[in-house]
């Protein structure tokens, strides 16, 4: 949370309301994009687990195509967890939790910038 306070301090020292509104819009639109992307990621993971649906055929392949690079980056970044004779992959779960953390960060930044704009306007 220290990075949030650092960004807030930079906003507090300046009186540039236009810059604050710009960042308010950036974080708001980023929040909307991340919510949509999170829905796509959840849909991909759900369709992967359904045995009667082939996730590589249309229309389910759309979810794989749109989220392929994101999950691939997490898969290559995190190793498999080795159990005695098998392995377990946590990268998809951590990828979704990273999206949740980014969503939380966007919400926190929007509320901080909004409160800064309200105090500077009065």
pLDDT tens across the length of the chain (122 residues): 566 666 666 656 656 777 777 888 888 898 999 999 999 888 888 887 777 877 777 887 788 888 888 888 888 888 777 777 777 778 888 888 889 999 998 888 888 888 887 887 65
Can you tell me whether residue 112 is helix, strand or coil?
Answer: helix
DSSP labels, 37-89: HHHHHHHHHHHHH-TTS-TTSTTTHHHHHHHHHHHHHHHHHSPPEE-SS-EE-
d(CA 102, CA 54): 30
Can you tell me whether residue 101 is helix, strand or coil?
Answer: helix
Largest CA distance in the chain: 65
Contact between 38 and 96 (Cβ < 8 Å)? yes
Give me the phi and psi of 89, to 5 degrees please. -110, 120
Contact between 21 and 117 (Cβ < 8 Å)? yes
Record the pTM.
0.73
């Amino acid at each position: 949370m220290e990075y949030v306070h650092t960004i807030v301090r930079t906003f507090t020292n300046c009186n540039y309301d236009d810059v604050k509104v710009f960042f308010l819009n950036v974080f708001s639109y980023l929040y909307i994009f991340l919510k949509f992307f999170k829905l796509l990621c959840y849909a991909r993971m759900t369709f992967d687990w359904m045995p009667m649906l082939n996730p590589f055929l249309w229309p389910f392949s759309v979810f794989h195509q749109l989220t392929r690079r994101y999950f691939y980056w997490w898969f290559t970044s995190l190793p498999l967890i080795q159990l005695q004779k098998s392995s377990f992959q946590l990268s998809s779960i951590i990828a979704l939790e990273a999206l949740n953390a980014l969503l939380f960060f966007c919400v926190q930044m929007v509320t901080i910038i909004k409160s800064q704009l309200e105090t500077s306007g009065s």
